[in-house]
Amino acid sequence: MTDATATAPEQFPDDIHRRGLMLVLSSPSGAGKTTISRRMLELDGNLSMSVSVTTRSKRPGEVHGRDYFFIDPTEFNLMVNRRELLEHAKVFGNYYGTPKSAVENALKAGKDVLFDIDWQGTQQLSESARDDLVSIFILPPGARELERRLTTRAQDSAEEIARRMAKANDEMSHWFEYDYVIVNRDVDRSVEQVRAILTAERLKRRRQVGLAEFVRGLQSGL
């Protein structure tokens, strides 16, 4: 008779506990980071969007608490003074920032947080939390295509589009500060590239904080 205890499969956890990561997507306005971000959130259940606070006015269709937390400049300054923001920056005359507590809780729980922020915010995150950061810069395939995308989304005036095009050159000069760079010629391909990066980064040894315990369990069975 076969000894059932000898042949029973060893029981190991399905998932090795890991610390979450901060996935940053940056680009000039119109290069596609928001579209890519939305697709990533639809495809990956372990990825949640960091909702920033901002002093700018709501655009058509935006919802407070989903797209941004829309606050006044006085409240924003109070959050800065209380050190409640991981990063903050002034962009096109408005202030933006990332609330700290929600992000830190997610990372501890092994959840990944997606950021749609500019190079200024990315620099601040790099200074304060480099080990948790994975940064990707999205480039447009060309200047004419960038202008076409800004025009066809019909969210901004002609003057605003001209200002964003003028700003794009400065924004793109920071591409070399990022871990990865993607040229967004095709959204589907760009999304797959971001997913590949995320998969690899999740498997990095330093993020798998439960790996040592898992290996000790393997060794004890030898």
pLDDT digits (tens, 9 = 90+) for 69-81: 999 999 999 999 9
Is 140 among the domain residues?
yes
Per-residue pLDDT of the chain (222 residues; tens, 9 = 90+): 444 444 444 444 568 999 999 999 999 877 888 899 999 999 999 999 999 999 999 999 999 999 899 999 999 999 999 999 999 988 889 999 999 999 999 999 999 999 988 898 999 999 989 999 999 999 988 767 776 766 676 566 777 766 777 677 888 889 999 999 999 999 999 999 999 999 999 999 999 999 999 999 999 987
Alpha-carbon gap, residue 46 to 130, rounded angstroms: 21
**What CATH number is associated with residue 35?**
3.40.50.300
Does residue 93 form part of some domain? Answer: no
CA–CA separation, 18 and 206 (whole Å): 8
Domain-embedded: residue 85: no
Is position 77 within any domain? no
State CA 189 to chain mean position distance. 18
Q: Give the pLDDT of residue 156.
A: 62
What integer pLDDT is reported at residue 149 of this predicted model? 66
pTM comes to 0.80
- Other CB atoms within a 10 A radius of the CB of residue 103 amount to 22
Lay out the sheet containing 180-183: strands in order across: 47-49, 112-116, 22-26, 133-139, 180-183
Q: What angle do CA 156, 162, 165 make, to 5 degrees?
A: 100
Alpha helices per DSSP H over 44-186: 73-81, 100-108, 119-129, 143-152, 158-172
Q: How many domains does the chain have?
A: 1
> Domain of 202?
17-50+110-220
Answer yes or no: is 84 within a domain: no
What pLDDT does residue 153 have? 62
Residue 27: inside a domain:
yes
d(CA 154, CA 184): 20
112: helix, strand or coil = strand
Place of tokens 């030898």: 222
Strand order in the sheet with 53-54: 69-70, 53-54, 94-99, 85-91
Please give the single-letter amino acid code of residue 213.
Answer: E
pLDDT of residue 8: 43
How far apart are alpha carbons 3 and 213 in whole angstroms?
Answer: 28
In a domain, 9, yes or no: no
User: Is residue 81 one of the residues assigned to a domain?
Assistant: no
Runs of H (alpha helix) within 23-142: 33-43, 73-81, 100-108, 119-129
